[in-house]
Structure 1
Amino acid sequence: MGKQMTEMLKGTLEGIVLALLAEQPAYGYEITTRLRAHGFTDTAEGTIYALLVRIEQKNLVDIEKVPSEKGPPRKVYTLNAQGRQELEEFWKTWDFLAQRIAQLQQTHTDNKSNTQSKEN
């Protein structure tokens, strides 16, 4: 993944993880697996665990410790009401940005097309 993609993903990863948790509660490794299944293949587990600590500190999730067949109990993260509210805000912000970026892209494409027409 390129540097630009990595930087953009940093700004949206929390919302993406909240969206995954809105679909279904999960533990850390499971979240990483689901991210990869959605095409976020270069997302490191350490990045996800650090993000989970942050969303836990922001009280966006409820946590249940579930026994594990191997090792210590797993922390299963469930999106709570505050987390759902944060996710809704994320989607509103995403929609706003996506619309503006699409407008800029269209303007760029139009300008590029007009410039190429004038050169011919």
Structure 2
Amino acid sequence: MDIENAKVQMRKGILEFCILQIISRGEVYASTMLTELTSAKIMVVEGTLYPLLTRLKNAGFLDYKWVESASGPPRKYYVLTEKGETFLAELHGTWDDLQGSVSQITHPQTPQA
């Protein structure tokens, strides 16, 4: 198995969670999401991001609005819906559980005698 492929697959598994978390902070433009994900070393390209945003919107987790731009065409800003906020809260619980489980395995505590 290729280590780079394994890393990519691990990152892909948390991409939806990270995108929802970014959007939860307030209205956000797609290029801002790409910048934040890239700076966090979660590499993603527009060809991956936009279909995921569409899927999340179609599931009722996101909404968007168009905002006029002084420097070009209008921009689409994404926001979480109430359903999206509930979904993100559930993902947080799952993430916390998963993080604890993985830590238990990767950093086992030696039993006290």
* SS of residue paired to 1:67: strand
Q: How many matched pairs?
A: 107
Match of 1:23 in 2: 25
**Residue type of the alignment partner of 2:5:** K
Choose between structure 1 and 2: higher helix proportion.
Answer: 1
**Residue type of the alignment partner of 1:49:** Y
Match of 2:106 in 1: 105
TM-score scaled by length of structure 1: 0.79
Match of 2:54 in 1: 53
Q: Does 1:83 align with 2:84?
A: yes
Choose between structure 1 and 2: higher strand proportion.
Answer: 2
Give the Cα separation in 2 of the matches to 1:8 and 1:78.
26
Q: Name structure 1 gaps, 5 residues minimum.
A: 111-120
Give the Cα separation in 2 of the matches to 1:15 and 1:66.
25
Larger Rg: 1
TM-score scaled by length of structure 2: 0.83
Q: Identity of aligned pairs, percent?
A: 30
* SS of residue paired to 1:24: coil
* SS of residue paired to 1:63: strand
* SS of residue paired to 1:39: coil
Give the Cα separation in 1 of the matches to 2:87 and 2:10.
19
